[in-house]
Amino acid sequence: MKIGIIGCGNIANAFHIPCYLKNGKVEIKYFCDILPERAENAVKKYGCGIAVTDYKAVLADSEIEAVSICTPNKMHSVIAIDALKAGKNVLCEKPAARVYSEALEMQKAQHESGKVLNIGVVNRFNTGINKIKQIIDSGELGEIYQVYVSFRAYRSIPGLGGDFTNKAVAGGGVLIDWGVHYFDIVMYCCSDPKIKTVSSEQFKKLGNPIDEYVYVNMWAGPPKADGVNDVEEGITGLIRTEGPVITFNGAWAQNIGEGETYIDFIGTKGGIRLNYAKDFVMYSTKSGMLTKTTFQMNEGMEFGPMFQNEINSFVECIETGKTLPSHIDTNIITAQMLDAIYRSAEEHREIKLD
Ligand SMILES: NC(=O)c1ccc[n+]([C@@H]2O[C@H](COP(=O)([O-])OP(=O)(O)OC[C@H]3O[C@@H](n4cnc5c(N)ncnc54)[C@H](O)[C@@H]3O)[C@@H](O)[C@H]2O)c1
């Protein structure tokens, strides 16, 4: 199967490209990036493929069956829709798009083309997350009545002034970049409870002026003093669903020197704390005693292989027609949720969803 990589930056080099190369059924025919040196470097580094700067050249090749879209968020819907219309199968990095309306357009193009459109909600391919879902589905924790979500870091902010902090490019800040993974896990493990109301507030207190910002971590590049930082670095809120109440606190940056990245699934019989990208602990009772169970992350259970699982599943679903849990139809629910969170924060009021 011949495929094209569109966007040859961090995530492409860290996971998509190496995972396709390990897959065995795939040949990478194109490396595409608007920065020619990135595409050319990939050709040299991986010893295969053709370097191009225009994604339309990839889509015009009838041999290409699928593409991975690893560009900044603002290009996700544009490239995905063009690719689907050109008859290609698509794995598009998360978030699906900057805003819900763009995600709906992507969904429409998928339905019309009948081609695959999966979003890079990679946690759905993690064995540990699937075990949590299995435990919740089995009823072992009783009724899950609250889920508490924390994605808080001490003074970081990715590439301050660059694509990640520019609303026109990214669509938002910590919620759309980090929160999207956390809410996706919640919705997946709790089987997509219908959302009733969303109430939130966002914070844009840190990071300006850019050149005066003091930080401990600046993943995604050093600050760009003349860049744009107009997204939220912090967000908090409450979501009522027909299942659990979801409460959340997220921050790329805050003046508390602790990172807290976990999801608590709180049930009537027991609870699970998922330490994001690490492991999980289950609290329950047995024979009148309290229990605290830790789970060993055996080979394949750790978070590392989830990207390989995601790529292998993408290739397999193109061959077999199987629908994956990362299909745009499931992802659209989280896209709507994020949209309501942002609307609530911008309008300082509760949003009701039908
Ligand atoms: N699944 C995850 O956990 C995860 C982790 C990191 C990033 N991501 C997502 O991956 C995407 C890319 O993030 P990144 O960190 O790799 O960013 P990056 O800036 O390192 O790479 C993006 C690349 O896309 C290129 N590009 C921009 N417009 C293009 C276009 N029109 N055609 C071709 N190439 C184009 C850029 O030149 C750049 O090389 C983002 O949407 C991000 O949210 C997902």
Ligand 1 site-directed mutation target among 13, 33, 75, most atoms within 8 Å of CB = 33
Which of 101, 115, 125 has the alpha carbon at shortest distance from 184?
A: 125
Regarding the domain with residue range 2-120, which homologous superfamily does it belong to in the CATH classification?
Answer: NAD(P)-binding Rossmann-like Domain (3.40.50.720)
Of how many residues is the chain composed?
354
How far, in Å, from the CA of 149 to the mean position of ligand 1? 25
- Structure confidence by residue, pLDDT tens digits, 175-233: 999 999 999 999 999 999 999 999 999 999 999 999 999 999 888 889 999 999 999 99
How far, in Å, from the CA of 281 to the mean position of ligand 1? 33
Q: What is the dihedral sign for C-alpha 187, 115, 77, 20?
A: positive
Residue with the smallest CA separation from ligand 1 atom 18 is 9
Q: Which atom of ligand 1 is nearest to the CA of 78?
A: 31
Residues near ligand 1 (Cβ within 6 A): 6-12, 32-35, 38, 55, 70-73, 75, 93-94, 120, 122, 163, 177, 220
Confidence (pLDDT) at 124 = 96
Confidence (pLDDT) at 297 = 76
Q: Which atom of ligand 1 is nearest to the CA of 32?
A: 33
How far, in Å, from the CA of 300 to the mean position of ligand 1? 26
Ligand 1 site-directed mutation target among 45, 93, 169, 177, most atoms within 8 Å of CB = 93
How far, in Å, from the CA of 217 to the mean position of ligand 1? 19
How far, in Å, from the CA of 11 to the mean position of ligand 1? 6
How far, in Å, from the CA of 2 to the mean position of ligand 1? 21
Q: Where are the domains of the chain?
A: 2-120, 124-307+334-352
- Structure confidence by residue, pLDDT tens digits, 303-335: 779 999 999 999 999 999 999 999 999 999 999
Cβ atoms of residues 248 and 150 within 8 Å: yes
Stretch (H or E) spanning 30? strand 27-32
How far, in Å, from the CA of 118 to the mean position of ligand 1? 16
Strands 27-32, 50-52: pairing is parallel
Could you tell me the strand order of the sheet in which 117-119 lies? 50-52, 27-32, 2-6, 64-69, 89-92, 117-119
Backbone angles phi, psi at 270, to 5 degrees: -170, 180
Taking domain 124-307+334-352, whether its CATH number is 3.30.530.20 is answered by no
Residue with the smallest CA separation from ligand 1 atom 28 is 71
Q: Which atom of ligand 1 is nearest to the CA of 12?
A: 16
**Which pLDDT tens digits describe the chain residue by residue (354 residues)?**
999 999 999 999 999 999 999 999 999 999 999 999 999 999 999 999 999 999 999 999 999 999 999 999 999 999 999 999 999 999 999 999 999 999 999 999 999 999 999 999 999 999 999 999 999 999 999 999 999 999 999 999 999 999 999 999 999 999 999 999 999 999 999 999 999 999 999 999 999 999 999 999 888 889 999 999 999 999 999 999 999 999 999 999 999 999 999 999 999 999 999 999 999 999 999 999 999 999 887 776 677 799 999 999 999 999 999 999 999 999 999 999 999 999 999 999 999 997
Cβ atoms of residues 187 and 129 within 8 Å: no
3-state class (DSSP) for residue 280: strand
